[in-house]
Amino acid sequence: MSYVCGRSSNKIVHRNDCRYVKLIPKKNRKPFSTVEEARREGYSCCKYCSHIWKYVGREKNELDDYCVKNGLSYSFNRTDGFLDIDSRQDRWKVIVSGKRHHIFLYHRNTKISLTPERTLVPGFHSQKAISQTILGYMKYISEHDEYVEELTKAHKKKSKPVKGTKRYWKMVRREKKSVRRKQIRNVLGLIERMSENNYMEGVR
């Protein structure tokens, strides 16, 4: 598959069969063998001939409806040619990969990775979820959001035990213990420093 683009002005790369290619004068067309090649030269991707936008086109009404009801939004990313999805909790990408143009879900990393990543999408990791449709991935994302929200709620509840409950007294005991440990550490440190001073005095 080859890709062409207008040599001048807006630097957008199209697939060969894109209807916009016809509008570019032949002398202004510049061929590329892969989209990545064009992207490395600073070209951005045409939404209308991208594989991902074809998926969107097939599901558009369902997707828009689902997004409104579940607080999601999606947009075409011109830089990488993938689909960005923002949910209440996170950012996601749906990418198209392989000869059969299957779609895959990627999830934004929460921690900065120090080792070089082996991923198709820098800053994102592949999510273990399989769907043939974008709607399927959106449902997965909503469930993921709910799961994260439940976890945070449970964590908040746990961090503040109600006064007088079993958990409260457990916390009090734990805190007392840690204060005592700290005091012991301080005394030990003091003794150590004193003996060091005595030693120095003895040397003198």
Residue 20 or 76 having the CB closest to Zn ion: 20
**How much of the chain is helix, strand and coil, in % rounded to 5?**
45, 20, 35
Per-residue x/- track, 40-79, Zn ion (CB under 5 A): ------x-xx------------------------------
Least separation, in Å, of the C-beta of 35 and Zn ion? 11
| Residue 40 in tokens | 């490395």
Site residues for Zn ion, 125-144, by CB under 5 A, read none
Residue 13 or 105 having the CB closest to Zn ion: 13
Give the C-alpha separation, 38 to 78, whole Å.
12
Q: Which stretch binds Zn ion (CB under 5 A): 15-23, 51-59, 153-161, 185-193?
A: 15-23
> Is 79 exposed, middle or buried (CB count within 10 Å of its CB: 0-12, 13-18, 19+)?
exposed
Give yes or no for residue 18 binding Zn ion (CB under 5 A): yes
The packing angle between helices 51-70 and 134-159, to 10°, is 40
Residue 48 or 66 having the CB closest to Zn ion: 48
Least separation, in Å, of the C-beta of 20 and Zn ion? 5
> Is 52 exposed, middle or buried (CB count within 10 Å of its CB: 0-12, 13-18, 19+)?
buried
Please choose, from the candidates 98, 34, 97, 84, the residue with its C-alpha nearest in 3D space to the C-alpha of residue 56.
84
Binds Zn ion by CB under 5 A, chosen from 4, 5, 14, 24? 14
Say which amino acid occupies 39: R
Torsion sign over Cα 81, 73, 138, 144: positive
Give yes or no for residue 105 binding Zn ion (CB under 5 A): no
Q: Which stretch binds Zn ion (CB under 5 A): 39-47, 63-71, 149-157, 183-191?
A: 39-47
Residue 49 or 94 having the CB closest to Zn ion: 49
Least separation, in Å, of the C-beta of 13 and Zn ion? 8
Residues that bind Zn ion (CB under 5 A): 14, 18, 20, 46, 48-49
